[in-house]
Amino acid sequence: MPDVTVTQNPAIKYDQVITFPQPAYDDVLPRANPGFPQGRFVASEGNAYRSDGYTNQYVAQSNRAAAAGFSYTTAPAGGPPLLAVGSGAAGKMTIALDGMAAHPDTGSGYGLSAGCVRASVYRYWWLTWWMASDMLASFDLRNGLVLVPANNAGNIGWIDDPVFNQGGFGFTQTAAGQWQYSSWDSAAPSTLRENIALPAHALADWNQFGITIRNATPSAPAAVEILFNGALVATRNWTGALLENYAANFWRFVPVVCGGNTAAAVGGAFFSNMVCRKGRFSRLGLELTE
């Protein structure tokens, strides 16, 4: 008798999935800088896109400490391993997770002809993470995660950096002790384009954040989704003034985590449960065909 033919929807399989932090089994935490090799905290086999590429992880990082900046990974009692970044006085610590970078085509360069199909890994980018802070008395925009446009590993900075400022968009603290979504301009440090308040929450608790980017297609511009604790906060694109587009020769948006403060205080931000997915499926499970 003939073989039975089975048809079904394709399984959701991303081209690449990266998790962070992922300590090695022989690690004894905490591990603090300057002897803190973040690269050890991933199961790295190189940034190889293959049919089984989702099993590989790759996180290159560009670290920059200002003044009393620090970073370490620890495992608090009753909680998951976390990355802590901050400063012991007026200062900051940034870590750019370059392996998690998004490479969106915003639709403003070369045009896309009808029928043009993008490679699977470049159709959708989705980052989720947990974030908390112990800066409960001296709130500061130096705590958070921002997607920063970049063209090399040496110039990736933070939004208030007078030298390494390319703008970007993401989540930082407000002066009222909450997280907020914001986008910034590269014209001058800390130049806002947009602010969006988030539902009430506690900085000292884990809150879950998310950003997705769907690349431009022949039928639609690139789109960004902003998520907070599982709820959609807003959607944006590069056709208006709320997001700054690439400058010439800038080709990726890098997630940059930052912790610290402008005052003589001690504290920063904590990050855990970070997952970056790249592939042809949306966060709702829809398969993207172009």
Whole-number pLDDT of residue 51: 44
Instruction: Tokens for 228, please give them.
Output: 């907070």
b/e for 102-127, b at 16 or more Cβ within 10 A?
bebbbbeeeebeeeeebebbbbbbbb
**Residue carrying structure tokens 């997630």:** 255
Tokens of 197: 């308040």
> Which residue(s) pair with 257 in the sheet?
95, 145
CB-based contact 170:182 (threshold 8 Å): yes
Residue 102 has a pLDDT of 94
**What pLDDT was estimated at residue 98?**
84
Could you tell me if 274 and 19 are in contact, meaning their C-beta atoms sit under 8 angstroms apart?
yes
For residue 97, the tally of other CB atoms under 10 A from its CB is: 26
pTM more than 0.85? yes
Strand runs (DSSP E) across the chain, as ranges? 16-20, 31-32, 61-66, 69-74, 82-87, 91-97, 124-133, 144-150, 168-173, 179-185, 191-197, 207-214, 223-228, 231-236, 252-261, 267-279
Listed by start position, the domains of the chain span 16-41+50-279
| 273, two tokens | 């449960």
Q: In tens digits, what is the pLDDT along the chain, a chain of 290 residues?
A: 556 555 566 688 899 888 888 776 667 777 655 444 555 444 444 444 444 444 455 556 677 778 888 888 888 899 898 999 999 999 999 988 888 999 999 888 788 899 889 999 999 999 999 999 998 877 888 999 999 999 887 788 899 998 888 899 999 998 888 999 999 999 999 999 999 999 999 999 999 999 999 999 898 889 999 999 999 999 999 988 999 998 888 899 999 999 999 888 888 999 999 999 999 999 999 999 98
Query: What is the C-alpha separation between 170 and 156, in angstroms, rounded?
Result: 15
- Specify the DSSP class assigned to residue 220: B
pLDDT of residue 139: 80
Which residues does 106 contact at the CB level (< 8 Å), separation at least 6?
A: 216, 221, 222, 237, 238, 245, 246
CATH 2.60.120.200 fits 16-41+50-279, yes or no: yes
Q: Which of 277, 272, 278 is nearest to 22 (CA)?
A: 272
